[in-house]
Amino acid sequence: MFKENKGKKLIFGLVHLLPMPGTPYYTEGNVDKMMDKALHDVDALIKGGAHGCLLQSSDRIYQATDDTDYARVATLAAVGARVRSEVGPDFKIGVQLMWNCITPSLAVAKAVGADFTRCTALVGTTQSQFGPVTGDPYKVIAYRNLIGAQSVDLISEAAGYHFKSEYDKSDLQTRAATAIRYGAAAIEILSKDEAHNERMVRDMTELGDIPVILGGGTDVENCVRRMKYADAALVGTCFEDGNWGGPINVNTVKAYMDNMKSAYDC
């Protein structure tokens, strides 16, 4: 995905789904509601000019392990398959079961023909409100090979919303380089502070030709500045007009993309 679009700034909208079966906050009717929401949001992203989406579970409380309930896998697969059937091949689709369910997400991606998944911790260990989250790259690589999902790109968080650590340039670069060595196609970075965000992105560029994706923090006003050194962005709350988990606004997507296209090849 990133190799074939080298030199192009890619923008992916986050499609936040409702709590799924098999989770504590699930309520009857959520599957139909999240299907409708996913189709609405993807339509808004396409009409607004975005390049793709990340279908992401939003269950409010999570396990910190790589495993999950079968019902969550089946539900995300059903939503992903429906979305895939509604869009053309040029619209990129990612799938992610939170908090760090990489192998279940790979299974969904393989089944529905998705293009990528996002890894909270492909390598290293980070703290979360649900307990420590520890990467298991051996398990991920072995399972990816087992199911033939090498075409599914892995976006590996190195510092961001979900992988949190004190800033240390050497540590950050080592974590990123290790993730790339173990199969990641891109490294995700995020700091709400623009200057620090740029510093970390430039740390990544020192490692060579590694795609860097911003895991948040961009909006209509700052996207051109923030995307100066990055290759792609995941955009959530901005496209939802500040209402996290709400519907994506096609007009906001269009305004964001118009600004990006005024400055970059998109």
161-216 confidence digits (pLDDT tens):
899 989 999 999 999 999 999 999 999 999 999 999 999 999 999 999 999 999 99
Q: How far is CA 36 from the centre of its chain?
A: 20
Q: Is the pLDDT of residue 2 over 90?
A: no
Copy the structure tokens of residue 160.
Answer: 């961001």
* For the chain, percent of residues with pLDDT exceeding 70: 100
Q: Is the pLDDT of residue 266 over 90?
A: yes
- 4 vs 116, higher pLDDT: 116
Spatial distance between the Cα atoms of 126 and 131, rounded to a whole number of angstroms = 9
Across 79-101, average pLDDT: 96
Q: Is the pLDDT of residue 144 over 90?
A: yes
Copy the structure tokens of residue 78.
Answer: 């059903």
Q: Which of the four pLDDT bands, split at 50, 70 and 90, describes residue 5?
A: confident
Question: What pLDDT, on the 0 to 100 scale, is given for residue 26?
Answer: 98
Copy the structure tokens of residue 93.
Answer: 């689709």
What pTM did the predictor assign? 0.97
Domains and CATH numbers, the chain: 10-261 (3.20.20.70)
- Please write the tens of the pLDDT for every residue from 25-80: 999 999 999 999 999 999 999 999 999 999 999 999 999 999 999 999 999 999 99
Question: What pLDDT, on the 0 to 100 scale, is given for residue 23?
Answer: 96
Question: What pLDDT, on the 0 to 100 scale, is given for residue 7?
Answer: 86
Of 221, 169, 177, the residue nearest 196 (C-alpha) = 169
Of 43, 33, 21, 1, the residue nearest 248 (C-alpha) = 43
Spatial distance between the Cα atoms of 38 and 125, rounded to a whole number of angstroms = 31
* For the chain, percent of residues with pLDDT exceeding 90: 95
Question: What pLDDT, on the 0 to 100 scale, is given for residue 214?
Answer: 98
Spatial distance between the Cα atoms of 176 and 101, rounded to a whole number of angstroms = 19
Question: What pLDDT, on the 0 to 100 scale, is given for residue 61?
Answer: 95
Q: How far is CA 26 from the centre of its chain?
A: 22
CA angle 117, 121, 127 (to 5 degrees): 135
Q: Is the pLDDT of residue 251 over 90?
A: yes
For the chain, what is the radius of gyration of the CA atoms?
A: 17
Q: Is the pLDDT of residue 227 over 90?
A: yes
